[in-house]
Chain A
């Protein structure tokens, strides 16, 4: 089955700096890669996703990149703010209604 690895497990950045979280996946059939943000005590929320026919996607301060050949995908947050502090999960799926396999999460702390 699919295996998703995520690094780093914790990340501290100064407010205003950029944060990058990297993931790798094992199953070349995966074609849908969502990212979830979970604030303390709250539900995971989808913040951005990318499909395999696209190499990069941006939404304001958040961008995701996908390298299908290397089976890598990354989340980039620019101009970080304290409210970006949360646990971020990458995930991979074969799309449609197929199950999603999650990474182990990255705890991001943005220091004011």
Chain B
């Protein structure tokens, strides 16, 4: 089975620009999560979709971050405008309904804001 795919793998943008990250979960996985790891710290939760609905967005840092999952398939995470502190690795993960078996992570997008 194909894994969780993230695009791009790396992105370098200037402060104030916009970046959109994409995640394609494993087919059939209703649950899709976005996480971020900043500067060697913990992997921090951003938000959780169940199909196309936002189940929990308590980890979104501010309104510069917008996540969507139209049609319950792939998801995008847009940062607009980007700030220096947004730099980090953004991970997407997916899991089956009821979350059995833990997450499958994507390879992440390394975002650098300069």
Interface residues of A (CB under 8 A from B): 1, 4, 34, 36, 42-46, 49, 89, 93, 95-105
Contact = CB atoms under 8 A, between A and B. Distances in A.
A103 B97 CA distance: 24
B102 A46 contact: yes
Contacts of B105: 36, 43-45
Contact of B43 (A45, A97, A98, A102): A102
Nearest to A102: B43
Contact size range, B: 20 to 34
Interface string B42-81: 1111001010000110110000000000000000000000
A11 B43 CA distance: 19
Contact of B33 (A34, A49, A96, A99): A99
A49 B102 contact: yes
A101 B58 CA distance: 12
A103 B37 CA distance: 11
A45 B101 CA distance: 12
A95 B98 CA distance: 8
A45 to B, nearest CB: 7
Nearest to A104: B42
Given A34-B102, A44-B91, A100-B33, 18 more contacts: A36-B105, A43-B4, A43-B105, A43-B106, A44-B43, A45-B105, A46-B104, A97-B30, A97-B48, A97-B95, A97-B97, A99-B45, A99-B48, A102-B44, A104-B41, A104-B42, A105-B42, A105-B43
